[in-house]
Amino acid sequence: MILILLFTVVVFVFGAAAAETNNKQYRVPGVDGKIKPDGILDEEVWRKALVLELNYEVQPGENIPPPVRTEVLLANNKTHLFVAFRAYDPDPTQILARISDRDNTSNQDWVGVILDTFNDERRSFDFLCNPLGIQTDFIEVSTGDGGTWDAIWDSGGRINEQGYFVEMSIPFSSLRFQRKDGDQVWGFDAVRSYLRRVRHHIGTFPRDRNNNCYLCQSIKLVGFNGVKPGKNIELDPTIVAHIKQKRENETQGPFITDKKLDPGITARWGFTPNLTLSATINPDFSQVEADALQLDINEPFALFYSEKRPFFTEGGDFFDTRLNAVYTRTLREPSWGVKLTGKEAGNTIGAYIARDRLTNMVFPGSQGSDATLLTWDTTAMVFRYRRDLGNKYALGALFTNRQGNNYFNRVLGFDGDFRFTSRDRVMMQIMGSSTRYPEDVVLDFGQPAGKFDGKALDIVYSHNTRNLDLYFEYKDIDRDFRADLGFIPRVGIRSAYGIADYTWYAKPGRWWTTFNLQGEYIRMRDNDGNLLNRDAAIQFQYEGPLQMHTIIQIGRNRKVYNEKVFDLNWFFLHHCMNPIGTMHIHFNALGGDNIDYANTRQGRRINVEPGMTYNIGRHWQLNLAYQFERMWENSQRLYTANQCELRLAYQFNKRMFLRTILQYVDYRYNTDLYINTIDPEFRHLFTQILFSYKLNPQTVLFLGYTDNYYGYSGMGLPQANRTFFLKIGYALVM
């Protein structure tokens, strides 16, 4: 608390006012017409538009003239922002573009706009298109990834003899912006990714690599007088139907059929240009995108999976903090929810309440975590507030509460983000929790009885310059701290972590683009002062032509587990590249000493993970991933793990695709080396076939089939369950 008061005084005394900037300003003209986004640029709107050139290559070159010419055109009427690009190319046959689903434009050429609509230099809406008009959109925040976000907007593009042209029509109802009379000022950048021997990143202004704030350097757009989001009401009714067949005893017995029809609706109302109220009844939280495989063998802590459900992803970045105290995938099967998100002047607000029919629970510890799924209802509530103090500082508060069935978990926290200079930044968070578990949970999972409390603290300092980066973090989390609506699987620790790295940049045309040398050190103890982990590592990175990226890392680790001390030497290798424009390959290898957590013994392991993405023509995409891990103890094999995944998709056009996913897992154990009884084999095969037709992120038709096969020692691979599903969703925007 003393730290919070100290930082608050510093902020108010030295930095409450926004810093003066010399950013260039350009006026966006208001027009009366509209466009048909087809990539032709023949409308009258474009003859009146503001035209800017992208005059700077910012990566890998440092503010040098770009290898190609690019123009961005901007105009708006009362309801839409219009954007167009003329991306000239000396050899249009080399342009990399494919027809794909939205948000799948990596390893292609693309152009995009960055819109800091609140001009707070903290958060931007990013809209990108490949040369065929395939969309990617996301929110970018100054603290890192803003998470998944899907907006409703129109775009089109086409390749011609000059290069390619792209048009975007972005409704103001899909944005959040200032509630203000008269002119608004938005931060802005237009970017182009020109993919050839190297990827040239091109923008509208020079970037100072000694300044850790990208948006602080952006140019400013002036205008948008009187723009409104319209009624800004969106109704998204859905119907989800499935026929599920499941065996009586997992892999044996007859199939039991379950048929279900689930109607639901989500409503969104932007009652001001910057505040949105959402509500949902029987929401569709079905995940038609299968989670990527993660190796869970010999892993003491719970695994993290990304959130992809639309109700939670919208405005999801408002809830982000240093400690991951809000993780919406803890809500397994909500029956209803209400959410408010937005920003008013310098005040950012996020809140939701939801009723969950199942309860995901993670029980954290200092050396491992446990998890379970409880079949009783809980009510979850989250409130997040942040106050911007100028463009350099922010203070925030967070409260979460989950309760039901003689159970509750409450967390209250405060945090701060202080950008003292263009190179130096401090971020901090302090939280306290109060928890009570039901008696059966206390007994079954060894948790404290009655009400118990805990606290958590995280402080980070970073120093970022053109060549030298420094990062230091101190973390202190009590063993009795719980954040059941978040993802903090490790508690009962005090850790100090530091990184120092130095980067060299090549001149254009060299056989390399960057070299980086990095050293890192971590020291972690439990709450009683006993050593848990001490790890030191050196890392070398290389980037070069063909989008080549190589990391070599070696380290030495002293780790304590179950009161035994282990001295471990390890190495890590990563390499990826695009050998041809339509193919991306990667290879990871991890090896050396490791702990056998099941038996508290030291062994050696090797893990290799090759993978490939191959775009076949403009319509086909093939993804292959494989992972192999083996561990030995005293020259005897402890286990062997194999995982492989195949994804094959055919994109008929930008709205429709057919995709197949196959995931296979095969674990083999040497039971003679295990203290506890364990089955010598485990196999799992997952398949999915999905047809998708998508007018926009909410107006969709999904038709698919999934099944699971499980196998153990002495048996084949029988089918355990199968599901046919249909989802129809429609976005009614007013």
Q: What is the pLDDT of residues 423-472, one digit of tens each?
A: 999 999 999 999 999 998 999 889 999 999 999 999 999 999 999 999 99
pLDDT for 89 equals 97
Let me know if 546 is exposed, middle or buried by CB neighbors in 10 A (0-12, 13-18, 19+).
middle
Flag whether pLDDT at 19 surpasses 50: no
Q: Which helix (H) or strand (E) holds 442?
A: helix 439-445
Cα–Cα distance, 122 to 140 (Å, whole number): 8
Flag whether pLDDT at 15 surpasses 70: no
Greater pLDDT, 371 or 629: 629
H runs (alpha helix) in 220-278: none
pLDDT for 1 equals 44
Q: What CATH code is carried by the domain that includes residue 191? A: 2.60.40.1190
Q: Which of 227, 232, 195 is nearest to 584 (CA)?
A: 195
Cα–Cα distance, 613 to 624 (Å, whole number): 6
Flag whether pLDDT at 645 surpasses 80: yes
Q: How confident is the model over 135-164, as a mean pLDDT?
A: 87
Query: How many domains are contained in the chain?
Result: 2
Cα–Cα distance, 157 to 38 (Å, whole number): 6
Flag whether pLDDT at 2 surpasses 70: no
Degrees to nearest 5, angle at CA 283 with 281 and 289: 175
The reply to whether 1 falls in a domain is no
Cα–Cα distance, 173 to 231 (Å, whole number): 8
Buried b (16+ CB within 10 A) or exposed e, 365-384: bbbbbbeeebeeebebbbbb
Q: Of all residues in the chain, what percent carry a pLDDT higher than 90?
A: 70
Q: How confident is the model over 389-393, as a mean pLDDT?
A: 87
Flag whether pLDDT at 5 surpasses 50: no
pLDDT bracket for residue 6 (50, 70, 90) = very low
Q: Which of left, alpha, beta for 467 (phi over 0: left; psi -120 to 50: alpha)?
A: alpha
Greater pLDDT, 545 or 302: 545
- Cβ-contact 209, 217 below 8 angstroms: no
The reply to whether 458 falls in a domain is no
pLDDT in tens, 328-352: 888 888 889 999 998 888 899 999 9
Return the C-alpha torsion angle 270, 271, 272, 276, nearest 10: -40
Structure tokens at 602: 């030291």
pLDDT bracket for residue 581 (50, 70, 90) = confident
Q: Which of 197, 223, 249 is the last residue of a domain?
A: 223
Q: Where are the beta strands (DSSP E) in 439-492?
A: 452-464, 468-477
Name the β-bridge partners of 199.
195
pLDDT bracket for residue 9 (50, 70, 90) = very low
Cα–Cα distance, 116 to 376 (Å, whole number): 43
* 370-374 and 359-363 strand pairing: antiparallel
pLDDT bracket for residue 146 (50, 70, 90) = low
- Cβ-contact 185, 25 below 8 angstroms: yes
pLDDT bracket for residue 360 (50, 70, 90) = confident
Cα–Cα distance, 350 to 318 (Å, whole number): 6
- Cβ-contact 362, 302 below 8 angstroms: yes
Which DSSP category does 289 fall into? S
The reply to whether 689 falls in a domain is no
Q: How confident is the model over 135-139, as a mean pLDDT?
A: 92
The reply to whether 394 falls in a domain is no
Cα–Cα distance, 89 to 111 (Å, whole number): 13
- Please count the other Cβ atoms lying within 10 Å of the Cβ belonging to residue 655: 17
* Strand order from edge to edge, sheet including 80-88: 50-53, 70-76, 80-88, 163-171, 154-160
Structure tokens at 406: 């003689």
The reply to whether 574 falls in a domain is yes
Q: How confident is the model over 390-398, as a mean pLDDT?
A: 91
Let me know if 429 is exposed, middle or buried by CB neighbors in 10 A (0-12, 13-18, 19+).
buried
Find out whether the peptide bond into 29 is cis, omega within 30 degrees of 0.
no
Name the β-bridge partners of 347.
344, 387
pLDDT for 194 equals 96
Structure tokens at 188: 């802005």
Cα–Cα distance, 128 to 134 (Å, whole number): 8
- Cβ-contact 601, 634 below 8 angstroms: no
Q: Which of 223, 247, 270 is the last residue of a domain?
A: 223
Q: Which of 159, 190, 223 is the last residue of a domain?
A: 223
Flag whether pLDDT at 155 surpasses 60: yes
Greater pLDDT, 8 or 676: 676
Cα–Cα distance, 178 to 180 (Å, whole number): 6
pLDDT for 689 equals 93
pLDDT for 284 equals 64
Buried b (16+ CB within 10 A) or exposed e, 34-68: ebebbbebebebbeebeebebbbbbbbbbeeebeb
pLDDT for 333 equals 83
pLDDT for 66 equals 96
Provide the residue range defining the domain that includes 541.
Answer: 492-553+567-590
Q: How confident is the model over 138-157, as a mean pLDDT?
A: 82
The reply to whether 413 falls in a domain is no
pLDDT bracket for residue 13 (50, 70, 90) = very low
Degrees to nearest 5, angle at CA 493 with 487 and 495: 100
Q: Distance from CA of residue 293 to its chain's centroid? A: 16
Q: How far apart are the first and last CA of the chain?
A: 47
pLDDT in tens, 469-512: 999 999 999 999 999 999 899 999 999 999 999 999 998 888 99
Q: Reduce the DSSP state of residue 673 to 3 states and report it.
A: helix
Q: How confident is the model over 65-84, as a mean pLDDT?
A: 96
The reply to whether 300 falls in a domain is no
The reply to whether 583 falls in a domain is yes
Cα–Cα distance, 96 to 107 (Å, whole number): 8
- Cβ-contact 316, 298 below 8 angstroms: no
Cα–Cα distance, 281 to 336 (Å, whole number): 4
pLDDT for 294 equals 56
Cα–Cα distance, 348 to 346 (Å, whole number): 7
The mean-pLDDT minimum among 49-63, 73-87, 175-189 falls in 175-189
Q: Of all residues in the chain, what percent carry a pLDDT higher than 70?
A: 93
Radius of gyration of the chain, Cα coordinates, nearest whole angstrom = 27
pLDDT for 11 equals 42
